């Protein structure tokens, strides 16, 4: 007659039992009136198995063809108090447990295995509670893989959230990718599964095999995995953090004093690590993280930038997504090296005075079968309803910001990069797509919020909590919103109703300015307002002025190719545009290649066209950007008061007939100021008069028409004297020569 135990062993052998700890390992029995110990293991590929103890070896009986082996040992054969494993929290918390191994023979080879099913629960109930309520802000320290020592035995602890799974197993080379071998313990009611596997080595590939509610088997990567195989391979890799010695102590000590860089210069060089530079002589391969540290870091420093912003460096399967479709949220991509190699890159940036900002993508994730999509066979990380859970434009899935375990995942991920990799800021991608329930959707394709509106209230709550958390826990770090609409108070504190970001990209400024500069100069007089409109709202947010990768792809043309006219005019217009950008209130961001006038649109699968620097015009443009950066850093008036009206005053914003703009920028010390003038036609403006605050000598700090920049060297001989004579509301005025398609910056004294 078949017993319940027989049925349970059948399920175990088939990989269908959801509580293997009730059967495997060591259990006490009182069968036939005698106390005995029953040992079970599942070794699907074994020919035979022996139980090995300090008190002898015992041949184990094969109970099922699927590899279930069992040995029953009378208690008088093994003292219960023999060799206790102190510190192992075994089921029932019995201190009398003793050490044993299984000697497994297969294919003529023999190996000893420490039984993972002798170990009790590792995660605490408090950990499980915090994950479930969305407040385990260091969940990366508990979920995923971690090397532990329990009772003198070292191994890897695996933990994963899959609440609707029938069962979850760890699979890898170490068990022939057989889901029957290492079935995990279900921790009710959290939905987390865990197992401690002794003697696991770092570098082993693994996945989680998940039996869905429908009975299907899925192979999923570790959502908290620290390292992955190089795409197109997809397995997670056991990586043991803690071996890197940081050398950026001075930077980290001072970072908390930077006040999110609000009153400091911030000029950001945006980089796609896979295409900044390649090695064509070696099959066009990528540079490694360490090679980037040796080449990119000194280049950016020499160019005068203050920060490097990396397009998403998190592991992603498809290079054509540019990194914006992430699979491994806790892993720097293995395309360029190991996690410690990436730490070295960040370290070198800091040691050279450069901050590091990462593009972070909490807005969506891809549908790849090995990733987060329907992770346990159900909509786990995403919304079940496609009207809330799917981006139709991008073919990706949207995180469920109202689910506490998802919030744990995302909040802890943000802190992970800031703390574990010393990252200085996160630029949050596609914020508008998260804020609006009807983003890129027609009527009937979206679900209103509880008040009938289009605002995603769960996303609003998520952003407010995210920014409060990161700013409060990791002082001196920043968050930046790529938000393309007029959502109010994006960069205002949460306590006044804002979203709490440090900065917002000024997409309106970018769009208007590029629209203006793409006009033929003869028509610019009719578009003058596109340059001046931004000052109507310039101080409503803490803005970054971006010329990003999005502006040089998909048929939009490169920055220099957007400029009208002949070759000389294109270069001159671009120099003037960059001069206007650096004079305008707001921090700065420029995508790689824009600094030297790359002609081709950006191609993620190739290198920048560095050979263009052999041309004097392109070399001059790069020198202009370098000098803009250096002057911007050196002059407090250009960066100290970016977000208050007191830092800016128009001199003349109405000269559309000549297409000339002039304005004053002030530092915290109102006596420290600079004067900027831009002439945006190819006609030199001789004896051009503007008002200025004071009389005296005004030194010409920058002139985009300088011969060293590729210009015609028309200017003011190093400076000009302001004389008494009212103009533009000032008591003094300057009479200038403003070069064609030129930008001039002057300073009193």
Q: Read off the DSSP letter of residue 89.
A: -
Return the bridge partners of 589, or none.
268, 546
Say how many Å lie between the first and final Cα of the chain, rounded.
Answer: 103
List the catalytic residue out of 115, 340, 390, 429. Answer: 429
Query: What CA–CA distance (Å, rounded) separates 288 from 294?
Result: 10
Q: Is 541 a catalytic residue?
A: no
β-pairing verdict for 425-428 and 153-161:
unpaired
Q: Is 429 a catalytic residue?
A: yes
CB-based burial label for 254 (10 Å; 0-12, 13-18, 19+): exposed
Give how far Cα 486 sits from Cα of 207, 476, 508, 544, Å.
43, 27, 9, 15
Which H or E run includes 587? strand 587-591
Residues 6+ apart with CB under 8 A from 260: 471, 476, 477, 478, 502, 503
Angle at 644 between CA 672 and CA 692, to 5 degrees: 40
Q: Tell me the torsion sign for CA atoms 160, 166, 168, 171.
A: negative
232 preceded by a cis bond (ω within 30 of 0) = yes
Secondary structure, 3-state, 265-318: CCEEEEECCCCCCEEHHHCCEECCHHHHHHHHHHHHHHCCCCEEEECCCEECCC
Query: What CA–CA distance (Å, rounded) separates 69 from 245?
Result: 46
**736 alpha-carbon distance from chain centroid:** 47
Secondary structure, 3-state, 358-408: EEECCCCECCCCCCCCCCCCCCCCECCCHHHHEECCCCEECECCCCHHHHH
List the catalytic residue out of 482, 530, 551, 652. Answer: 482
Which H or E run includes 330? strand 328-332
Query: What CA–CA distance (Å, rounded) separates 552 from 569?
Result: 19
**Catalytic residues, which ones?**
429, 482
């Amino acid at each position: 007659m078949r017993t319940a135990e027989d049925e349970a062993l059948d399920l175990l052998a088939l990989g269908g039992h959801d509580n293997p700890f009730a059967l495997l390992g060591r259990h006490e029995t009182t069968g036939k009136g005698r106390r005995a110990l029953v040992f079970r293991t599942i070794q699907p590929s074994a020919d035979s198995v022996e139980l090995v103890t300090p008190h002898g070896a015992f041949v184990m009986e094969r109970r099922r063809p699927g590899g279930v082996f069992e040995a029953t040992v009378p208690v008088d054969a093994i003292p219960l108090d023999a060799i206790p494993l102190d510190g192992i929290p075994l089921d029932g918390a019995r201190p009398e447990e003793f050490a044993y191994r299984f000697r497994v023979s297969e294919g003529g080879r023999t190996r000893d295995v420490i039984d993972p099913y002798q170990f009790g629960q590792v995660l605490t109930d408090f950990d499980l509670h915090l994950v479930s309520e969305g407040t385990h802000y260091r969940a990366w320290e508990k979920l995923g893989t971690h090397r532990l020592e329990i009772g003198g035995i070292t191994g890897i602890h695996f933990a994963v959230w899959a609440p609707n799974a029938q069962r979850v197993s760890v699979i890898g080379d170490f068990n022939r990718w057989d889901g029957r071998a290492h079935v995990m313990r279900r921790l009710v009611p959290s939905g987390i599964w865990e197992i401690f596997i002794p003697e696991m080595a770092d570098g082993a590939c693994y996945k989680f095999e998940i039996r869905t509610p429908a009975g299907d088997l899925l192979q999923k990567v570790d959502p908290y995995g620290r390292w992955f195989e190089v795409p197109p391979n997809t397995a997670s890799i056991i990586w043991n953090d803690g071996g890197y010695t940081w050398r950026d102590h001075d930077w980290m000590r001072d970072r908390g004093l930077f006040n999110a860089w609000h009153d400091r210069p911030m000029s950001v060089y945006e980089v796609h690590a896979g295409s900044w530079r390649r090695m064509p002589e070696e099959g066009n391969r990528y540079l490694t993280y360490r090679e980037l540290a040796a080449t990119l870091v000194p280049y950016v420093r020499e160019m005068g930038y203050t920060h490097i912003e990396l397009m998403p460096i998190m592991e992603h399967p498809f290079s054509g997504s540019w990194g914006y479709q992430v699979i491994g949220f806790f892993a720097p991509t293995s395309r360029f090296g190991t996690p410690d190699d990436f730490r070295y890159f960040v370290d070198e940036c800091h040691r050279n005075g450069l901050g590091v900002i990462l593009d972070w993508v909490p807005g969506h994730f891809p549908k790849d079968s090995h990733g987060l999509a329907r992770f346990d066979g159900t909509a786990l990380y995403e919304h079940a309803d496609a009207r809330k859970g799917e981006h139709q434009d991008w073919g990706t899935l949207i995180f469920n910001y109202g689910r506490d375990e998802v919030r744990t995942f995302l909040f802890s991920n943000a802190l992970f990069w800031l703390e574990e990799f010393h990252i200085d800021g996160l630029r949050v991608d596609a914020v508008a797509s998260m804020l609006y329930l009807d983003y890129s959707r027609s009527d009937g394709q979206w679900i209103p919020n509880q008040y009938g509106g289009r605002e995603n209230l769960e996303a609003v709550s998520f952003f407010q909590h995210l920014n409060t958390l990161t700013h409060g826990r990791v002082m001196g770090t920043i968050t930046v919103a790529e938000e393309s609409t007029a959502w109010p108070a994006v960069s205002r504190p949460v306590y006044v109703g804002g979203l709490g970001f440090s900065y917002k990209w000024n997409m309106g400024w970018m769009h208007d300015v590029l629209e203006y500069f793409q006009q033929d100069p003869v028509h610019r007089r009719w578009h003058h307002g596109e340059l001046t409109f931004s000052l109507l709202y310039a101080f409503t947010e803490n803005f970054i002025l971006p010329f990003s990768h999005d502006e040089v792809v998909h048929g939009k043309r490169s920055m220099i190719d957007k400029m009208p006219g002949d070759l000389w005019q294109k270069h001159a217009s671009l120099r003037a545009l960059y001069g206007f950008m650096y004079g305008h209130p707001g921090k700065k961001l420029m995508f790689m290649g824009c600094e030297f006038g790359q002609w081709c649109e950006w191609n993620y699968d190739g290198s920048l066209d560095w050979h263009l620097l052999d041309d004097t015009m392109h070399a001059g443009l790069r020198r202009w950007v370098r000098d803009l950066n250096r002057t911007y850093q050196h002059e407090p008036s250009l960066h100290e008061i970016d977000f208050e009206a007191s830092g800016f005053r128009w001199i003349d914003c109405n000269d559309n007939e000549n297409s000339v703009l002039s304005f004053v920028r002030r530092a915290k010390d109102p006596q420290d100021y600079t004067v900027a003038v831009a002439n945006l036609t190819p006609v030199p403006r001789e004896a051009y008069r503007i008002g200025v605050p004071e009389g005296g000598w005004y030194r010409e700090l920058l002139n985009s028409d300088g011969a060293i920049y590729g210009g015609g060297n028309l200017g003011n001989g190093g400076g000009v004297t302001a004389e008494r004579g009212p103009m533009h509301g000032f008591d003094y005025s300057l009479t200038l020569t403003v070069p064609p398609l030129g930008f001039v910056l002057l300073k009193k004294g």
